[in-house]
Every structure is written in structure tokens, then in C-alpha cells.
Amino acid sequence: MNPTLRQMRAFVAVARTGNFTLAAQAMHVTQSALSGLIKELEQTLGARLVDRSTRRIFLTDIGTELYPLFSQMIDDLDGALANVAEHTSLKKGVVRVAAPQLMSCTLLPEAIAAYRAQYPDIDVRLGDTGVENVITRVLSGEADFGVGPEREPAPPLHAQQLFEMPFALVFPKGHELEEQARVTWHDVARYPLISLQGQFTERLLDDVHASLHGLQREVPVKPANEVTFMTTALAMAAAGLGVTVCLPYAAPLVSLYGLVMRPLEQPVLTRRFFVYTRPGRSLSPATESFIGFLHAFVRQARG
């Protein structure tokens, strides 16, 4: 026995309406087509399900027994299909993104707000964390995707570049550097540098020293203080304890702290940020939609 879904729908429609004409209208088929589906179902099951008269229909004992079972099956299936349709039409869904603390209090809240304005039914959940923990959250499945800087060695994740930005120097308003038209890494070496712990600073200083190696004026750039979060570095700079280096996406927070941001030159060093996802794992429609939106949002923000 292998009744088709269409046959079961026809039987349930007849049982619910008690009328072949109304059942045919509910299924958007002709009455003869509906009758054919009922006959096919009865032949498949080897039992009569419906007794017909000139005025009304009656379910047989077997039909009465099968009706609630078929009805529940169809209702469950229709509910599941409706749920899928809500996901694919972005009427429903959850997106979990892991991102460094600085990006989580600058770029991403703005992107999430803009996305929610277009897709208010999608729940975007932001998990702020240390830079080194972004990859861990994606690998564990705690986050659907992560946004973070390039890593060496490359993590076992699929990486899609989100942006590449040059480093900038940040210092308090009224600082003597504010009078200069340009600031360089030679300027950084003249003041206490407040930087981040870990690979971020290690790679940055390696790039600086490699770029300046062999020049007559080599610059011994090194941190005077290393902290976990860039917000701490900004707060310390605002208190006059030194200068710090960050990327331009932090501009809203730099302004909030009353600091000045200037592009760093000689050399111009950049850092790439990526969207990290688990390889071989399909993303939900909502997650794919938000990632695409984030790429467009960053492109627009950069002009």
C-alpha cells in the first residue's frame, strides 16, 4: 500500500466537507478529478472509504478510522511546509554572529539595525567576544558565522573577505600630533603605545618593522601597555596615557571618547577582515541573507 499525498488530501477534503462539490472546490480540481482520486485511494488500500448517495456521503468504518490519522498527517505536513516557507521568505529565522568587542560596539549594531528595518521578523543575535574567541565560537556551532581579522595559520573555516582597511592613529584632542598634516609610524614611536594583546599586535609590529627595516631611521615601535579590549585602549588614550592604533570602522567610538583619528603613513599598513563559516555546513536562509546584507552595508559605508 502506497497512497499518495494528493489522494489523502482528496479523502480528507471529502470527509471534512461531507460534499464532493465543496471538496473539489477546496482542492481546486474538478469533481470528476476528485472522484478519481478517491477511487484510486480505495483501490490502493483495497477497501471502500466513502459511501455515496444522491444527497450526501458517508464514511465507512475504515474511512472513519483513517480520517483523523490522515487529517493529522496532512496538518502536520502543511505546518512544516508553512514553517519552511516562512524561513525562505525571511518571515522567520535566527542569525547568530560572533564578532570582536570593538566591531560589536561600532559597525555591527548599525548593520543589524539597518537589516532589521528591512526584515523585522529575523532575530539577529550578536555575540561580542575577544578577537581570539571568534573562531572558537564558529567551530563549536555557538555562532552561525563570525567576523574577524585574518589569522595565521588560517583557521579550518571557510573565509570570505569582508573588507580591507588601513590602520589609523588615535590620540586625544589638543594633542601636539593634531597640528601635523600627516602622522607616521615614526610619530607612534615617540609616545606610549597602548595596544591589544595577542596576535593582533604581534602581526602589526612585525609588519611595521619589516616595512621599516634597512631605513636610516628605523623605528623601535613597541607597546607601553597591552590590554584585552580596544575600548580600554581608547579610554586610556582619552585619559592622556598614550596613543593607540585601530581601524577606521571604530570611528563612532573614537568620536564618543572625544579622540582624534588620523591615517597612519610611512608605511601604510592594512588589515583584512573576513566572514568565517564552517565548511560543509549549509547556512539558513536568514544567515545567508544577513551575510549578503553585511557585505553590501560595508561597501556602502565605505562609499
Q: What is the pLDDT of residue 54?
A: 63
Q: What is the pLDDT of residue 207?
A: 82
Q: What is the pLDDT of residue 153?
A: 80
Q: What is the pLDDT of residue 216?
A: 45
Q: What is the pLDDT of residue 47?
A: 94
For the segment 61-80, what is each residue's pLDDT rounded down to a tens digit? 999 999 999 999 999 999 99
For the segment 153-202, what is each residue's pLDDT rounded down to a tens digit? 888 999 999 999 999 999 999 999 999 989 998 888 899 999 988 777 78
Report strand pairing: 145-149 vs 270-277: antiparallel
- Which cell numbers in the block locate residue 99? 564578532
pLDDT tens-place values along the chain, 303 residues long: 789 999 999 999 999 999 899 999 999 999 999 999 999 999 999 999 999 876 778 999 999 999 999 999 999 999 999 888 888 888 889 999 999 999 999 999 999 999 999 999 999 999 999 888 999 999 999 999 999 998 878 889 999 999 999 999 999 999 999 999 899 988 888 999 999 887 777 888 788 877 766 544 555 677 889 998 889 999 999 999 999 999 999 999 999 999 999 999 988 999 999 999 999 899 999 999 999 999 999 999 876
Q: Which domains does the chain have, with CATH numbers?
A: 5-88 (1.10.10.10), 94-164+273-301 (3.40.190.10), 168-268 (3.40.190.10)
Q: What is the pLDDT of residue 275?
A: 97
Q: What is the reported pTM? A: 0.79
